[in-house]
Amino acid sequence: MENEKNGDIVTRYRTLAELHGVYKESADYLKANSVHKELTLLSNQIVRLGDVSISTLKLLLGDPNPWVRLWTSVSLRDYYPDIAERTLNKLVIDDEGLTGIEAGMILDIWEQDRSRAINKHDSSDNSASKGKL
């Protein structure tokens, strides 16, 4: 029963991710934003359900639809960061359209996040060492 529930949720996620891409590519940003909100809520629900749901979602990284792979990568960043990043990099290389552009923007944001975290860590290390002088 639980596997069925996981499958239904992931199927809904896949449908919404694909639909989000359709709306983005047709410049229907109101509908795209609405679907974006639903996808975010559904992603959070999948995470709350635990490992089985997350593993089921991971299967979508091989989906033929690039929007599904993009969304899945974002949702799985905290669980499979290397795979998520590789998937987005592949979208940047293989997709000359909007999906590739968005994948590149996401990767840029992730890199900025990493840089901020490193700088914050370095700053706190420097502050701590100054206090010891």
How many Å apart are CA 6 and CA 45, to the nearest integer?
A: 10
Q: Is-contact 58 80, C-beta < 8 A?
A: yes
Domain range for 57: 2-131
pLDDT along the chain (133 residues), means of 10: 71 96 96 96 91 91 96 94 95 92 95 83 60 51
Report the number of distinct structural domains present in the chain: 1
Question: Per-residue DSSP letters for 83-122?
Answer: HHHHHHHHHHHH--SHHHHHHHHHHHHHHHHHHHHHHHHH
Q: Does the model's pTM come out above 0.85?
A: no
Q: What angle do CA 126, 124, 109 make, to 5 degrees?
A: 120
Instruction: Check which CATH number belongs to the domain holding 67 and give it.
Output: 1.25.40.70
